[in-house]
Structure 1
């Protein structure tokens, strides 16, 4: 009986360490790529948390003067700052008054069409002659 038991029991093939390492590293790489893709989508579509201070400090205009130099207008609570920015420092150039509230400004009159403007200009030139 001893010989029949040895014939019926066959050893299982050993798992290759190289193939197991390849599978694990492949799955980990896929998980990292998935996490990065989700983070990119969240940033792209604005699902990330907004910073609390961004409402009080806002860059309203910027002008590039050189490769690393620029002038910006920064809106703060009660003033607008004109700043000169270089690679080494930020310099306060001027302080402007705060912007008026958007709701309190009067709406401008509806713009006239081009034909009416051209017609009024022609009439104005005819009167001078």
Structure 2
């Protein structure tokens, strides 16, 4: 009976130590993953609605950086556009909004140009 009681006590002790062990392993993996996460950088985030954002992220190794424009909602993330950093800027330094190839002066002007010029509306 003493031997059975000892096995039960060891089993209960092992079960009590299990959450601590799992947390410890997760912390070690988190520290190892931090070095890889340094390869990406959020350059900008613009709210376009209560739960929607357009986020520009720079990813990839130093010699082949890529810009991703992502549409982010509570349910998913969609890639809207990709562009190599070298085509946006000659050096490997971060890209600012002024360095992007086509920079419309305002959203209203961009819509007007898409519709057919200033003063025209889509329905008339």
What TM-score results when the alignment is normalised by the length of structure 2?
Answer: 0.42
Structure number with larger C-alpha Rg: 1
